[in-house]
Amino acid sequence: MIEFFTEPWTHVFMQRAFLVVLMSGVVCGVIGSHVALRGMAFIGDAVAHSVFPGIAIAFVLKTSLVLGGIVAGLVTALSVAVFSQNRRLKEDTVIGVFFAAAFGLGIVVMSTAPGYGGSLESFLFGSVLGISNSDVITVAVAGVVLLLISGALHKEFVTVGLDRETARAVGLPIFWLDLALYAMVTVSIVISIQAVGNILVLALLITPAACARLLTDRIGVMMLIAPAIGAVSGLTGLYLSYAFNLAAGGLIVLTATAVFIACWVFAPRHGLLSRRSPAAARVEPVQP
Amino acid sequence: MSDEVLQVSGLAVDLAGREVLHDVNLVVTRSEQVGLIGPNGAGKTTLLRSLLGLIPIRAGSITIDGRTPGGARGTIGYVPQRHEFVWDYPVRVRTAVMTGRTHRIGWLRRPGAADRDAVREALERVDLTDLADRPIGELSGGQRQRVLVARALALQPRLLLLDEPFTGLDVPTQEILTRLFRELTSEGTAVLMTTHDLPAAADTSHRLCLLNRTVVADGSPDELRDPAVWLRAFGVARSEQLLHSLGVAR
């Protein structure tokens, strides 16, 4: 029985997978909390798609995939910011235009590389068992930097998240803070693509944060719970993938989704069951 | 230090190429509470936003404590309408009030003793000390309005701007706020609020300023007893109900 749990970790490729999944889960949990609270899920999706051409170009040019992804993500974020200035178009419409375009560009670029089918698949669906040592180091460094920046700008992000207009009125540089957050979302996504793939990475960003929101009313606690759920989902998915020889990325996301459904039903104050119980009446807002 | 905390002269503001305000002249002095009254679309919120330096002005000047709106940033207490605030954000009342001081605390710094004292005092003034650890999502409308006022007071401002602070509030909460504004003005704070609640404004303000693209009338509630002034501000030929509610009509 013990061997069932320890045996996978005797393989070096599983140790690397373990580390990357753990770090992706933690980083996405923290950054994803901001994404979920700001209602930025669609932007997260757009960034996830738009890093693809950057990764494809970096892959063809044989340079850093992380750098390529970040550049492409930021170019898309800036394009959305600029093109949404036209008041006839809503921001989500502009995002819809650009992220599909970015993805199209990525596929065209990938198709110029010889034998692109296999590489394409590993970008789209993840290749957690084929991670190199240098990938692990890149993810670790990027992850630590992200967590440090997130901590350093925490009170500013909360202030803007609560009330953009007043935050601007007291002098906070809203545009730069937004750009910083987009950049952080972009990097989180790029470092997590190897674990779950480009298409499923949004789930790693949003689902653990959504679970945590159901469990707490404090953003500080949320930023502890979300990474924990992300990491545990990642490890569980990885185990199941090893044990049953199924796709790791999909299992990681499905595990997180199972946790979400459990939270939705059983969460102590905001879950389905407690909302139905008479005791819940106590937490309803009291009219003045 | 001058007694004039806010000075607006010849102000013109365009939004999307359309003139919203023109030739607005307004002064608010220390210890004065001014009610800014006008119909929907009169430019009340636009005026507040230009005082905060949030929108460019086409002509005229705004001086706040001898500075431009840009220079006075972070020293003005601003209370937006309640729907501008994300109430389901997972923070406690104390944290929400502390966000008023985020910029003053500065980058990479944590709140210090002075910040915590300012927040404690602001919470006391709006009578929310007991609810300081309550999630903001569980507050009633009146409590929410007091959180926004406390957040503005946490800056210890000399000028307090409020956008429709009384809208949708019950009488007890209105009374708490009215008393608070009276205290603040007696301590020297200048208060400028927009409102639809004409009787309350006439009751509590030292001066009323009727705005409809420009200042139509400006005077003490007693000086504005002439129905014609009100009818011009609101652009209606006959509004006996309005005038009755103000005690203007016989």
The full DSSP string for A58-104 is HHHHTS-HHHHHHHHHHHHHHHHHHHTTSTTS-HHHHHHHHHHHHHH
- ipTM of the shown complex: 0.92
Question: A32 with A208: CB under 8 angstroms?
Answer: yes
Q: Higher model confidence: residue B130 or residue B73?
A: B130
Q: How many domains does chain A have?
A: 1
Q: What does pLDDT average to over chain B?
A: 90
pLDDT band at A281 (very low <50, low <70, confident <90, very high): very low
Q: Higher model confidence: residue B198 or residue A104?
A: A104
Q: Report whether pLDDT(B85) > 80.
A: yes
CATH number of the structural domain spanning residue A8: 1.10.3470.10
Q: Tell me, yes or no, whether B62 and B170 share the same domain.
A: yes
Q: Is position B84 within any domain?
A: no
* pLDDT score for A163: 95
Asked if A216 and B155 come within 8 Å (Cβ–Cβ), the reply is no
Asked if B90 and A213 come within 8 Å (Cβ–Cβ), the reply is yes
3-class secondary structure, A163: coil
* pLDDT score for A284: 46
- Chain B positions in Cβ-Cβ contact with residue A159 (cut-off 8 Å): 99, 102-103
Please give the Cα distance from B104 to B111 (Å, whole number). Answer: 10
Q: What does pLDDT average to over chain A?
A: 87
Mean pLDDT for the stretch of residues B150-177: 93
Q: Tell me, yes or no, whether B151 and B163 share the same domain.
A: no
- Chain A positions in Cβ-Cβ contact with residue B86 (cut-off 8 Å): 37, 161-163
* pLDDT score for A111: 85
Q: Is position A286 within any domain?
A: no
Query: Which residues constitute the domain of residue B223?
Result: 1-75+159-250
Report in angstroms the alpha-carbon separations of B238 from B31, B223, B225, B230, B244: 35, 20, 16, 10, 11
Q: Tell me, yes or no, whether B67 and B190 share the same domain.
A: yes
Chosen domain end from B108, B133, B156: B156
Report in angstroms the alpha-carbon separations of B35 from B12, B32, B54, B201, B245: 20, 10, 21, 6, 16
Element (H, E) at B208: strand B207-212
CATH number of the structural domain spanning residue B36: 3.40.50.300
Taking the mean position of all CA atoms in its chain, how far away is CA B99?
A: 18
Q: Tell me, yes or no, whether B173 and B239 share the same domain.
A: yes
pLDDT in tens, B217-241: 899 888 887 777 777 777 665 556 6
Q: Is position B29 within any domain?
A: yes
* pLDDT score for B21: 96
Q: Tell me, yes or no, whether B62 and B181 share the same domain.
A: yes
Q: How many domains does chain B have?
A: 2
Q: Tell me, yes or no, whether B128 and B9 share the same domain.
A: no
Please give the Cα distance from B31 to B83 (Å, whole number). Answer: 29
pLDDT band at B250 (very low <50, low <70, confident <90, very high): very low
Q: Is position A247 within any domain?
A: yes
Chosen domain end from B116, B133, B156: B156
Residue ranges with strand state E in B52-175: 59-64, 76-79, 159-163
Q: Tell me, yes or no, whether B60 and B173 share the same domain.
A: yes
Q: Tell me, yes or no, whether B239 and B216 share the same domain.
A: yes
B71 touches chain A (CB under 8 A): no
Q: Tell me, yes or no, whether B127 and B165 share the same domain.
A: no
Q: Is position B116 within any domain?
A: yes
pLDDT in tens, A237-264: 999 999 999 999 999 999 999 999 999 9
- Cβ contacts below 8 Å, chain A against chain B, sum to 97
Question: A196 with A253: CB under 8 angstroms?
Answer: yes
**The model's pTM:** 0.91
* pLDDT score for A120: 75
Q: Report whether pLDDT(A207) > 60.
A: yes
* pLDDT score for A280: 44
pLDDT in tens, A53-99: 888 888 888 887 778 888 888 888 777 777 766 667 777 888 888 88
Q: Is position A277 within any domain?
A: no
Percent of chain B with pLDDT over 90: 72
Chosen domain end from B101, B128, B156: B156
Q: Report whether pLDDT(A279) > 80.
A: no
Q: Report whether pLDDT(A272) > 80.
A: yes
Any idea which of A97-101, B24-28, B42-46, B60-64 has the lowest mean pLDDT? A97-101
Percent of chain A with pLDDT over 70: 93
Mean pLDDT for the stretch of residues B183-197: 93
Please give the Cα distance from A123 to A192 (Å, whole number). Answer: 11
Q: Tell me, yes or no, whether B53 and B171 share the same domain.
A: yes
* pLDDT score for B207: 94
B131 touches chain A (CB under 8 A): no
Please give the Cα distance from B227 to B233 (Å, whole number). Answer: 10
Q: Report whether pLDDT(A147) > 70.
A: yes
Please give the Cα distance from B131 to B118 (Å, whole number). Answer: 16
Query: Which residues constitute the domain of residue A122?
Result: 2-272
The CA-based angle B121-B29-B225, given to 5 degrees, is: 110
Q: Tell me, yes or no, whether B249 and B176 share the same domain.
A: yes
Q: Tell me, yes or no, whether B163 and B236 share the same domain.
A: yes
